[in-house]
Amino acid sequence: EGVGAIAGATQATYAVPSAAMGDAGGYFCVLQNPLGTVNSGTAQVTVEAHTSVPRLVQARGSSNLKQAIVSFSERILTNAVSQDQWNYSIAGEGTPPGVAAAAVDATGTNVILTLDGPLTPGGVYAVTVNDISDLFGFTLDPKPSTAPLLAWVISRGFALEELFLNIGTGTLVGD
């Protein structure tokens, strides 16, 4: 950038977790060993302003009927607000289950809602979301946002695979 060496940039790779407009410019590497010093070519870096707001894209049920996955248009901030079950609610048939817990998954675009009871198979619900922000502090639009949620229907021809871990040794029964 023409302002000197970047503190800490002494490894084979260098990453900026969140670039700012002031980070735009030309960058080059200085390679040095006992035989001498060589400068790399200059790479031009452009930083564009983030102007989009997160949107609720969809909600879908799970095969165990006790979870719902809420998806957003971009990565959301993983904090106490996005993982607060009170920012999510489910409305629909009969007495819908409440949200017992909320956790942002590894992609950062989905929140896994753990419900305090099962959804009715084939039930039609609506998930409402409040107070969610993206990584840049932009809040959910519209606020609140609602998406339809359809509970799974297990029917003839449906294959359900479940994995049981740490259930003890037990007795093996042959066919």
77-131 pLDDT, tens digit each: 999 999 999 999 999 988 999 999 999 999 999 999 999 999 999 999 999 999 9
pLDDT tens for each residue of 27-73: 888 888 999 999 999 989 888 888 899 999 999 999 899 999 999 99
Question: pTM score, two decimals?
Answer: 0.68
Across-strand partners of 37?
A: 32
Are residues 156 and 66 in contact, defined by beta-carbon separation less than 8 angstroms?
no
Cα separation, 165 vs 168, in Å, equals 8
- Residue 155: is its pLDDT beyond 60? yes
Tokens of 72: 């957003």
Residue 2, pLDDT score: 58
Q: Give the C-alpha separation, 10 to 79, whole Å.
A: 32
Tokens standing for residue 107: 């992609």
Amino acid at position 158, single letter = F
